[in-house]
């Protein structure tokens, strides 16, 4: 199999962190998104949506979407569990993964993609008003999650999960969007330091 | 347990269709989003994100996010499987569910939420330029999925899945966004007629 990966982008990073937590190693090929390599006919043949990452299996089957690739490996190798075990934990991990993705990762991405000069040719059209509408949502979510983290170690409970991976990738993505963690969000800062210290964060 | 449901909205509909396919019946309470009942202190205590639906279990645990609620019931009652069986199908259902959600459901919602006069007080601020940026993405995805459906019966393969539920809810949501299925998308129309004829579509 081969994983098409992009070092700089937050979605491929989610898959890399997941694989590192599992201790799984996959041959990779870098696709340079700033050089628009994901728009080439070769990569478009692999993923018509021209998004990263993509996993090509030995039988030729293509799996795209970072979370779908993670679920593939979770099914092949359940330990350590990163999508929960049992109905309640499975639901909570999915709930927090989606809350983090839709209410935090997506707004951070909107601020970056619709304001940053480097995205002018990649996000067409850029809509600066949409970026500005999303900026306060980023802060709102961090203050919400700060209250939640007063009572537990990780985003979805007492165990590191896919929800932490999404939150970590999005939190570090804030640097490109030029947004900072609110000074008073001490629980977020404690959580961020802890997950950043895991070896997987360097993946 | 109790399911907080909103009859008109596409996300709660995803959960209702899923439960109907499973043959599971859950006591429900209607929350009128057009009357802003999801913004009341009572509902905000259940879901601080003020989104629908929400499932409250007998032990008080709250599960929000339509897909997380569906995964809870999939874990409790695996048959019929709607999130796939085995690593490859699990990955393909997640891939197509996410492709449909991020590249079709979300753009349809953006067109509706940022243009429709009824959303003026619910989507603040409305950004009409963001709606217009999303309109061509809706058509692009339908033409893409039309080519995919030339070779198979359902969105993620030969079996009805969560990906069909997301696609169906989003396709019917197009009416509120005032967008029509392209005339030439005959495979989409065949698929839409088939899934709309299932009893679950009326849920």
Q: Which domain holds residue A55?
A: 2-76
The strand pairing partners of A62, in sequence order, are A56
Whichever domain contains A119, its CATH number is: 1.20.1050.10
Q: What is the pLDDT of residue A153?
A: 98
Contact B172, B12 (CB under 8 A): no
| Residue B47 sits in the same domain as residue B125 | no
- Last residue of a domain, which of A76, A108, A138? A76
Q: What is the pLDDT of residue A91?
A: 98
Mean pLDDT of chain A: 97
| Residue B59 sits in the same domain as residue B107 | no
Alpha carbon distance A145, B203 (integer Å):
34
Q: What is the pLDDT of residue B18?
A: 98
Is residue A46 one of the residues assigned to a domain? Answer: yes
Residue of chain A with shortest Cα separation from B75: A87
pTM for this entry? 0.97
User: Are A91 and B69 inside 8 Å of each other by CB?
Assistant: yes
In which residue are the tokens 């109790």 written? B2
What is the tens place of the pLDDT at every residue in A55-104?
A: 999 999 999 999 999 999 999 999 999 999 999 999 999 999 999 999 99
How close does chain B come to A182, measured CA to CA in Å?
A: 19
Whichever domain contains A50, its CATH number is: 3.40.30.10
User: Which residues of chain A form beta strands (DSSP E)?
Assistant: 2-5, 28-30, 54-56, 62-64
Nearest to A99 among B65, B95, B129 (CB): B65
- Last residue of a domain, which of B56, B76, B96? B76
| Angle (nearest 5°) at CA A143 between A199 and B57 | 85
User: Are B87 and A76 inside 8 Å of each other by CB?
Assistant: yes
Give the pLDDT of chain B (203 residues) as one tens digit per residue: 999 999 989 999 999 999 999 999 999 999 999 899 999 999 999 999 999 999 999 999 999 999 999 999 999 999 999 999 999 999 999 999 999 999 999 999 999 999 999 999 889 999 999 999 999 999 999 999 999 999 999 999 999 999 999 999 999 999 999 999 999 999 999 999 999 999 999 99
How close does chain B come to A71, measured CA to CA in Å?
A: 6
Q: What is the pLDDT of residue B153?
A: 98
Alpha carbon distance B105, A30 (integer Å):
30
At residue B191, the 3 state secondary structure works out as helix
Is residue B82 one of the residues assigned to a domain? Answer: no
| Residue B197 sits in the same domain as residue B99 | yes
Alpha carbon distance A181, A119 (integer Å):
23
| Residue A158 sits in the same domain as residue A67 | no
| Across A165-179, average pLDDT | 97
Residue of chain B with shortest Cα separation from A123: B133
| Residue B116 sits in the same domain as residue B194 | yes
Is residue A81 one of the residues assigned to a domain? Answer: no
What is the tens place of the pLDDT at every residue in A29-62?
A: 999 998 999 999 999 999 999 999 999 999 999 9
Identify all chain B residues contacting A69, using CB atoms and an 8 Å cutoff. Answer: 91
User: Are B98 and A67 inside 8 Å of each other by CB?
Assistant: yes
User: Are A72 and B65 inside 8 Å of each other by CB?
Assistant: no
């Amino acid at each position: 199999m081969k994983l098409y990966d992009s070092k700089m982008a937050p979605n491929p990073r989610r898959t890399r962190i997941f694989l590192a937590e599992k201790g799984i190693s996959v041959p990779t090929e870098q696709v340079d998104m700033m050089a628009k390599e994901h728009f080439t006919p070769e990569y478009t043949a692999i993923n018509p949506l021209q998004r990263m990452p993509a996993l090509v299996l030995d039988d030729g089957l293509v799996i795209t979407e970072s979370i779908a690739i993670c679920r593939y490996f979770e099914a092949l190798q359940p330990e350590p569990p990163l999508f929960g075990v049992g109905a309640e934990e499975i639901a909570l991990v999915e709930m927090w993964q989606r809350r983090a993705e839709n209410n935090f990762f997506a707004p951070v991405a909107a601020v970056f993609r619709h304001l940053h000069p480097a995205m002018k040719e990649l996000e067409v059209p850029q809509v600066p008003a949409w970026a500005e509408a999303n900026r306060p949502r980023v802060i709102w979510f961090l203050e919400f999650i700060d209250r939640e983290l007063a009572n537990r170690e990780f985003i979805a409970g007492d165990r590191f999960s896919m929800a932490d991976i999404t939150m970590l990738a999005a939190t570090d993505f804030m640097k490109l969007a030029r947004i900072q963690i609110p000074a008073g969000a001490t629980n977020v800062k404690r959580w961020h330091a802890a997950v950043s210290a895991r070896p997987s964060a360097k993946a």
